[in-house]
Amino acid sequence: MATPRRLLARLRETMAHDAAPLHELAELVAAELVSEVCSIYAGRPGEILELVATQGLNQGAIGRTRLRVGEGIVGLCAATGKVMNLPDAQNHPAFAYRPETGEEPFASMLAVPVRRGGHTLGVVAVQNRNPRGYSAEEVDELETVAMLLAEVLASVGAADGAEEGVAATVPRVFSGSSLVPGIAIGPVVLHGALSRPARLLADDPDAELARLQDASRRMQQGLDELFSGVPEGADGTASREVLEAYRLIAADAGWLQRVSEVIRGGLSAEAAVQRVAGELRDRMRRISDPYLRERLADLEDLAGRLLAALAGNVPRPPVPPGAILLARRLGPAELLDWHAAGIAGVAVEEASAGGHAAILARALGLPSVGGTRGMLDSAEPGDEAVVDADDGQLVLRPEAEVRSAYLREMEARRALAAGWAPLRGRPAMTCDGVHVSLMLNVGLTMELAQLDTTGAEGIGLYRTEIGMLARGEIADVAEQAATYSRVLDAAAGRPVLFRTLDLGADKLLPGDAPEEENPAMGWRSLRIGLDRPALLRRQMRALLLAAGGRRLSVMFPMVATVAEFRAAKSLLLAEARRVRPAPEQLEIGTMLEVPALMWQLNELLREVDFVSVGSNDLLQFLFAADRSAPALFNRYDLLSQPVLGLLEQLLVAAKEAKGGAGVPISLCGEAASRPLEALTLVGLGFTSLSMSASGILPVKASLADLDLAAFRPVLASIRRNASGAASLREPISVWAREHGLAV
């Protein structure tokens, strides 16, 4: 058996003449692996594998022998992505006899899939007369050959215009859930994808091993720095254990050893890491135990870090215009990065509508789907994809007719949206003349232009933490004041409700390792603010400075008790006594997100100037249902008896509060931006809603057709007759459609 290095050196020579003919490769591999036969099969459109080169079989079979994926041993190898190592291939149940090949004399067979990214591009197989099993070393060599062959097949495919490989030719649809409605079509870019190594083979393995060692040391250092910020102690123990486990894996000699072995075989350090990462990915697909899957996922993540260290953290390549971003998981800060690079749509394998990346995507108007599991295994950068976020699916490599149907639909929507344009300058009114104030949810100053493009009446929720997440740190007082002042300037007298920092749960600054089992119910938001009053007071000072004598409205997130509200309010009042000029008017309100406040309404409504219902968190806590768990997506409905009952009780109490003067109530959760929910909330008595920009015109358009006086008794009767139904969506939407409302 030839040493892999010798084989690779010969391959390198052969491939140096650019388009190495495949038959030369087959000849070389057969000779070096001491096999009578080496055959190369390439994927063709329609899930077909075609014999494209062979040493040892009849040359007349080239281009004639074609197998379906799944047919014969070669087809099975392509279908399963597994190595087939068979001493007696002809008696294997899958064996498919092809007389034109003349393969009768050959008993044993080793077939290895040729994979690139998530795709199987073909199969390379060797055969021998004597029945024998191939050694682990031989399997390893043929796998290395397959890795090189993948590059050759991909470039050959590109050159002759043939589509790329087996899986790559097949359209696939992945179902998930809608995070932000809309449709987008474009080329795929992958979040966190390992970029293809520029160099596959290396002349000097010792130099490559030294590079690997150096990169691995730098990766370890990076991890140490990353983890050093995580506190020790009773509460931190669990997270430390996890981090320690991760660190152990990072330092684990086993997988680095494996990478070193592959380097010694003649691959570059980058190619070796990718090769081992690919093996891990294949193993991961076959493992169902969640703990082991996580460990393997850690390893894959580490492989990415190691590659970044090898590359010296090169910047991301440019994003093609209108690209569709595919990610396993995505944080808000990462989404912002990609948005700045110009993506048009997003699909995330693990995400749900309530998560902050989804909220941000909504604010940015990026059609997005979540829960589209398995897509990353099939997608390749540059593949075309459709995010159909209305049906909650990702269509990969759409057929031509499907693609043009989507393009027609997008065109129709542009026309519909253009029809809403006249509504922009008008206040939202029901057709029987009730005014509803529609406000914007904003998190970034770049969204301020939407005040004018949508004709919103003000900002009903300014999420101050989003800007900090985008920059990756908490800004100082002067910087914060400058930002808030720009917001007030842009609002030009329209109301702005600033919400103090709502960090924690899924809104973590980089370096903040989650250290709690249930971060959504953990140390987050106002709880952090009250425990670290200096942080909160600095923000309050910045807000007061920004107001510079103008009217200022501030509210606190995640208030659970009246005492917490009072504590936060007194911090704000203390700051307000120090800052000059004092605001012309200072309004202090609360978010209502924690159900416990419902049993403190009397005291609460005496103390607050306004209440804004955060229905995203409120539903999460009311139904004990994690807002970012994809499995719970759409399981519990705002349009349901318990939520509408709670909201009505709140509206009644607010109306009677302060001796009948009342306390203003609005709702700023994502539900407000959906026309059916918005109509129902208005039917219940809300006259102020705050939503993402994409919701304003559609909600305005459907309110314009709503006869509120007629709807109120209908809603009341639907609620009365609900008799335990989990959702009232169906009867409400039936009524709305019958009355010509666009919902």
**Interface with ligand PEP (CB under 6 A):** 359, 461, 463, 502, 593, 614-617, 668-669
Find out whether 654 and 663 touch, Cβ atoms under 8 Å: yes
Cβ closest to ligand PEP, residue 146 vs residue 505:
505
Q: Which two tokens stand for residue 718?
A: 């639907």
Binding mask 584-613 for Mg ion (x = CB under 5 A): ---------x--------------------
CB of 736 vs ligand PEP, minimal distance in Å: 23
Give which of ligand PEP, Mg ion, none residue 463 binds (C-beta under 5 to 8 Å, depending on kind).
Answer: ligand PEP
Residue 575 binds which entry of ligand PEP, Mg ion, none, with Cβ cut-offs from 5 to 8 Å by kind? none
Q: How far is the CB of 463 from Mg ion (least distance, A)?
A: 9
Q: Is 17 assigned a catalytic role?
A: no
Min dist CB 672 to Mg ion, Å, is 13
Return the closest-CA partner of residue 265 out of 2, 5, 1. 5
201 binds, among ligand PEP, Mg ion, none (CB under 5 to 8 A by kind): none
- Outline where DSSP puts E strands in 368-495: 368-370, 384-388, 393-396, 428-429, 435-442, 459-463
Q: Are 100 and 93 in contact (CB under 8 A)?
A: no
Would you say 620 or 680 has its CB closer to Mg ion?
A: 620
DSSP letter at 167 equals: G
Residue 442 dihedral angles phi and psi, to the nearest 5°: -130, 145
The residue (of 62 and 359) whose beta carbon lies closer to ligand PEP is 359
Q: Which one of Mg ion, ligand PEP, none interacts with residue 270, CB within 5 to 8 A by kind?
A: none
Report the residue number, 96 or 632, with the smaller CB distance to ligand PEP: 632
φ and ψ at residue 386, rounded to 5 degrees: -115, 125
Buried/exposed code over 502-524 (b: 16+ C-beta within 10 A; e: otherwise):
bbbbbbbbeeebebbeebbebeb
Token representation of residue 512: 């903040």
- Residue showing the smallest CB distance to ligand PEP in the complex: 614
Which residue stretches of 59-117 are H helix?
72-80
Nearer residue to ligand PEP within complex by CB, 461 or 676: 461
Cα dist from 86 to 100, 112, 139, 497, whole Å: 22, 12, 12, 70
Query: Residue 522 Cβ, how far from ligand PEP at the closest point, in Å?
Result: 14
Q: What's the count of helices (H) and strands (E) in the chain, helices before strands?
A: 26, 23
- Two tokens at 199? 């160099």
DSSP structure string for 581-630? SPPS-EEEEEEE-SGGGGGGHHHHHHH-S-EEE-HHHHHHHHTT--TT-G
Give the one entry of ligand PEP, Mg ion, none that residue 588 binds, where binding means its C-beta sits below a cut-off of 5 to 8 angstroms depending on kind. none
How many whole angstroms separate alpha carbon 309 and alpha carbon 34? 38
Min dist. Cβ of residue 552 to ligand PEP (A): 20
**C-beta atoms surrounding 207 within 10 Å:** 13
Residue 392 as a binder of Mg ion (CB under 5 A): the answer is no
Write a three-state SS string for 15-65.
Answer: HHCCCCCHHHHHHHHHHHCCCCEEEEEEEECCCEEEEEEEECCCHHHCCCC
Binds 348, which of Mg ion, ligand PEP, none (CB < 5 to 8 A, cut-off by type)? Answer: none
Q: Are 541 and 573 in contact (CB under 8 A)?
A: no
CB of 626 to ligand PEP, least distance (A): 13
Distances (CA, A) of 515 to 229, 357, 509: 11, 20, 13
Residue 669 binds which entry of ligand PEP, Mg ion, none, with Cβ cut-offs from 5 to 8 Å by kind?
Answer: ligand PEP
* Minimal distance, residue 668 CB to ligand PEP, in Å: 5
Which listed residue (47, 465, 564, 617) binds Mg ion by CB under 5 A? 617
Q: How far is the CB of 686 from ligand PEP (least distance, A)?
A: 14
Whether 356 is catalytic: yes
Classify residue 696 as exposed, middle or buried by CB count within 10 Å of its CB (0-12, 13-18, 19+). Answer: buried
Question: Which one-letter DSSP state was computed for residue 116?
Answer: E
Instruction: Select which of 119, 191, 339, 356 is catalytic.
Output: 356
- Residue of minimal CB distance from Mg ion? 617
- Residues near 176 by beta carbon (within 8 Å), at least 6 away in sequence: 347, 349, 369, 370, 371, 372, 373, 392, 393, 394, 630
Nearer to ligand PEP, 118 or 614 (CB): 614
Report the residue number, 165 or 460, with the smaller CB distance to ligand PEP. 460
CB of 502 to Mg ion, least distance (A): 6
Distance between CA atoms of residues 410 and 189, nearest Å = 21
Catalytic residue among 77, 119, 339, 668: 668
Out of 176, 398, 614, 683, which residue is the one contacting Mg ion (CB under 5 A)? 614
Of 690, 221, 114, the closest CA to residue 451 belongs to: 690
Q: Helix, strand or coil for residue 251?
A: helix
Please say which residue, 205 or 669, places its beta carbon nearer to ligand PEP: 669
457 binds Mg ion (CB under 5 A): no
Q: How far apart are CA 609 and CA 620, in angstroms?
A: 25
Instruction: Give the shortest CB-516-to-ligand PEP separation in angstroms.
Output: 17
Q: Which residues are catalytic?
A: 356, 668
Contacting positions for Mg ion (CB under 5 A):
593, 614, 617
